[in-house]
Structure 1
């Protein structure tokens, strides 16, 4: 599943919302975060979308496994 903030979205809905946000704030940052259930293909699809939309401020959030 893909979420924008806490709202589930399809990849097409995500694209539409990102295009709208970019029109308002061209250089807004995006953070991509996954959990243990996240499939790599979903991450790749989102990163590909961000690249196609020329969104350059992208971060990947990770969770440390070291305690």
Structure 2
């Protein structure tokens, strides 16, 4: 497991491009506990490990 200090964070824009989704979809994923954002100050980011987990889950479906 990666420590919090070593965790790579992706911006909202990077995640939207990776999945080809819009802001509303990310908001819905957060609401449904599919992909939870991390706030760094006022900036919203996503853990790369969470994004990769979601990619693998979607690939299995």
TM-score past 0.5 threshold? no
Indicate the structure (1 or 2) with the bigger Cα radius of gyration. Answer: 1
Alignment TM-score, normalising by the size of structure 1: 0.27
Query: TM-score, normalising length from structure 2?
Result: 0.29
